[in-house]
C-alpha cells in the first residue's frame, strides 16, 4: 500500500492506494482514508482523505456538492471513472457525484447512508459546547461493537471541529423529495449496505434506495461503522458486487 498525493486546484489531496482497481472509498464525518484499511488490503483500490481530513490540504468546503466537485477531479485524474464506495457523509458525496458528475461513476456502493442525513441538534450543539461528552455520545451511537467506543470517543474529541463542520454539512444534505418526485433514480449498478443495528442511519434509510434501483444488503450485528465492525462480511458483499459488474 502506498500514499499518493494529487494536486487538485493547486492543493494536495492524499490517497491510500492498494491497487489500480478503480474502486474509490470515501469516508464519513471526522474520519480519514485509514478507515478503509481492511477493504484496501483484501479488495484493493483507492481510499481518499477528503479535503481538510487526514493528510489532505485545507480547502474551502461548505456543502456535499463542494466535496463531490473535488472527488470528481480526483477520480478523473486517477482513472477517468470508477466504482464509488461511500460511507455516511461519503455516501452523500457518492450520490452527489452521481447527480452532478455522472461521467465519473460506473457503479455505487452506498454504506450506512441516506437520501437525507439529518443530525440531532443535541450533537451539533454539543460538539461546540461540550466536545468531550458529545464525542463519546457519537461514538456510542456509531458502534454496536462497544470495543471501538473508547478509541473513537478520543478520535472524535480530537477532531471535534471538523466533525462538527461535516455533520452540519450532512444536516443540510437532502435529496429525499427529488427521489420521491422521480427526479433521481439509479441507472448504474447500485448496492445499499447497512448494519442491522445502525442507530445513525437506520436500515429504513437504505431500504428507501431500493425504490429507485438499488439492491439492499443488511449486515447482521453491525452498527454504523460496518467496515470496522464486520470487515469480512462487508468485503464479501463488495467482492460479489464487483464480480457482477464484469
- pLDDT, tens digit, 9 for 90 and up, residues 46-58: 999 999 999 999 9
Q: List the 2-8 sheet strands across, edge first.
A: 2-8, 11-17, 46-48, 23-26, 82-87, 105-111, 190-195, 215-219
CA 123, 34, 20: angle at the middle one, nearest 5? 135
pTM above 0.85, yes or no: yes
CA dihedral 212, 203, 124, 31 (to 10 degrees): -90
Chosen CATH of 2-116+175-245 out of 3.30.420.40, 3.40.50.150, 3.40.50.300, 3.40.50.1820: 3.40.50.1820
Q: What is the pLDDT of residue 3?
A: 96
Residues of the chain where predicted confidence (pLDDT) is lower than 50: none
What do you get for the CA distance between the two ends of the chain, in Å? 25
Q: Which residue has the cell 483507492?
A: 46
Domain spans, the chain: 2-116+175-245
Q: What is the pLDDT of residue 235?
A: 98
Q: What is the pLDDT of residue 246?
A: 73
Structure-block grid coordinates of residue 149: 467506543
Amino acid at each position: 500500500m502506498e500514499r499518493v498525493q494529487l494536486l487538485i486546484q493547486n492543493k494536495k489531496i492524499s490517497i491510500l492506494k492498494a491497487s489500480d482497481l478503480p474502486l474509490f472509498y470515501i469516508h464519513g464525518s471526522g474520519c480519514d482514508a485509514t478507515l478503509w484499511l481492511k477493504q484496501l488490503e483484501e479488495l484493493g483500490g483507492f481510499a481518499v482523505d477528503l479535503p481538510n481530513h487526514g493528510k489532505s490540504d485545507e480547502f474551502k468546503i461548505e456543502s456535499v456538492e463542494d466535496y463531490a466537485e473535488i472527488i470528481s477531479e480526483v477520480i478523473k485524474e486517477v482513472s477517468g471513472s470508477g466504482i464509488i464506495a461511500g460511507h455516511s457523509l461519503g455516501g452523500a458525496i457518492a450520490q452527489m457525484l452521481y447527480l452532478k458528475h455522472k461521467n465519473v461513476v460506473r457503479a455505487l456502493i452506498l454504506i450506512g447512508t441516506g437520501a437525507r442525513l439529518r443530525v440531532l441538534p443535541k450533537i451539533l450543539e454539543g460538539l461546540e459546547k461540550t466536545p468531550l461528552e458529545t464525542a463519546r455520545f457519537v461514538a456510542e451511537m456509531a458502534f454496536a461493537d462497544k470495543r471501538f467506543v473508547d478509541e473513537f470517543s478520543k478520535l472524535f474529541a480530537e477532531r471535534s471541529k471538523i466533525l462538527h463542520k461535516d455533520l452540519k454539512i450532512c444536516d443540510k444534505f437532502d435529496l429525499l423529495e427529488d427521489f420521491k418526485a422521480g427526479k433521481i433514480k439509479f441507472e448504474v449498478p447500485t448496492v445499499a449496505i447497512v448494519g442491522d443495528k445502525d442507530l445513525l442511519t437506520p436500515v429504513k434509510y437504505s431500504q428507501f434506495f431500493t425504490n429507485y434501483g438499488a439492491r439492499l444488503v443488511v449486515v447482521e450485528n453491525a452498527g454504523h461503522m460496518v467496515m470496522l465492525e464486520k470487515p469480512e462480511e462487508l468485503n464479501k458483499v463488495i467482492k460479489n458486487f464487483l464480480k457482477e459488474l464484469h
